[in-house]
Amino acid sequence: MVVCIEEVRILKIYVVKLGDSIWTIAKENGVSKKC
């Protein structure tokens, strides 16, 4: 029996500037594969 596990995590950081205020939005996408 062969078991392989792949985990891929992508971290995306978005920076939005509105006037004098700066907004930071972080989105994390996780992908897991088992075979």
Q: How far apart are CA 2 and CA 13, in angstroms?
A: 36
Residue with tokens 């088992």: 34
Domain of 26 in residue numbering reads as: 5-34
Q: Is 31 helix (H, G, I), strand (E, B) or coil?
A: strand
The tens digit of pLDDT for each residue in 2-30 reads: 777 777 777 777 777 878 887 877 777 77
pLDDT (0 to 100) of residue 27: 73
> Which of the pair, 5 or 35, is modelled with greater confidence?
5
How many independent structural domains does the chain possess? 1
pLDDT (0 to 100) of residue 18: 77
Cα 3 to chain center, whole Å?
25
